[in-house]
Amino acid sequence: MLGFLPPPLIALIFTSLLVTTTILFSSLIIVVMPLRFLMPTQRLRTAITTLLIAFANGWCRLNNKVLFRLLPRIEWDISLPPGLNNNSWYFVIANHQSWVDIFGLFYVFTDRIPFLKYFLKQELLYVPFWGQAMYALDYPFMKRYSKETLARHPELKGKDVETTRRSCEKFRHTPTSVMNFLEGTRFTKSKHDQQQSPYRHLLKPKAGGMAFTLSALGDQMSCLLDVTIAYPDGNPTFMDFCSGRLRRVIVRVHKREIPHEAFTSDYENDAAFRERFQAWTAGLWTEKDAEIARELDKGAR
């Protein structure tokens, strides 16, 4: 416990340990990953993938059970549905308010469901050690094209969809939890105002990425895990977390059925399905916005 130290010193010690353990486990993953290409059968390749995921889970356990306990006590208020297990495929969605969300989701789900796979920006591939480890773990790296770029190069249209499909094919052999922040970016007041978002605590959800992923994976996904994250003391920065200033985190997880047509319909070319899917997603977001408001109201009492 480092609570007796001043916050800047807590941050220095904690981030140093976090970087060290990240480099250690990333190096293990990077060194072992080439063995997968040498395996003659899919069964052996899957065994190597399972080993890589075991390293990643080891990093999460070390963080959860050792490093996070060095910080001043965080009050985790977590609600989970029954029946979660490590042998199913889950699609996980959540609102996104802070970089702390990522550590929070690993804290909540490690050893409860298969290791989370996030959709990452392609630029993150070049982060030393960490980016290469994520690549080895089959994280999908997405390259976004602006409307201007697509206008100049129409041949690039649909590339992100194809990347999603290729990435999802890798998930078929090992139980996986595919994680998507539907807002696409962290919530800020300026982004909220710029979007003219109809929600109080959320940005508008982007349904397309979820629809493409569900279509690529088919009905292998057992269900949707809908995660609501709230910080009663205000959205923390990463340094708030590292320096021990984060005190309370609320996480509510709901298990929801995925509409079967999401596995079989064409989101891009079927306008009627696209409208229904967007309406379903908007309904989830309306419920989430109301839940955040309730939890923040309770937390303020």
How many Å from the N-terminal Cα to the C-terminal Cα in the chain? 28
What percent of the chain stands above pLDDT 70?
91
Closest by CA position to 56, among listed 22, 93, 79: 22
Task: Name the CA radius of gyration of the chain, rounded.
Answer: 20
Per-residue pLDDT at 297 exceeds 60: yes
Separation CA 275–CA 266 (nearest Å) = 12
Residue 169 identity: E
Is residue 106 over pLDDT 90? yes
Average pLDDT, the chain: 89
How far is 230 from 252, CA to CA, in rounded Å? 9
- What is the C-alpha separation between 258 and 104, in angstroms, rounded? 24
Which pLDDT belongs to residue 48?
A: 94
Question: Does residue 157 carry a pLDDT above 80?
Answer: no
Confidence (pTM): 0.89
Separation CA 108–CA 104 (nearest Å): 6
Give the fold, CATH level 3, of 73-300: Glycerol-3-phosphate (1)-acyltransferase (3.40.1130)
How far apart, in whole angstroms, are the C-alpha atoms of residue 75 and residue 246?
9
Q: What is the pLDDT of residue 159?
A: 63
- b/e per residue, 197-209, with b = 16+ CB within 10 A? bebebbbbbbbbb
Provide the sign of the torsion angle of the four alpha carbons 193, 197, 198, 201, taken in this order: negative
SS (H, E, C) the chain: CCCCCCHHHHHHHHHHHHHHHHHHHHHHHHHHCCHHHHCCCHHHHHHHHHHHHHHHHHHHHHHHHHHHHHCCCCEEEEECCCCCCCCCCEEEEECCCCCHHHHHHHHHHCCCCCCEEECEEHHHHHCCCHHHHHHHCCCCEECCCCHHHHHHCHHHCCHHHHHHHHHHHHHHHCCCEEEEECCCCCCCHHHHHHHCCCCCCCCCCCHHHHHHHHHHHHHHCCEEEEEEEECCCCCCCHHHHHCCCCCEEEEEEEEECCCHHHHCCCCCCCHHHHHHHHHHHHHHHHHHHHHHHHHHHHHHC
| Residue linked to tokens 């982060």 | 127
pLDDT band at 137 (very low <50, low <70, confident <90, very high): very high
pLDDT digits (tens, 9 = 90+) for 21-80: 999 999 999 999 999 989 989 899 989 999 999 999 999 999 999 999 999 889 999 999
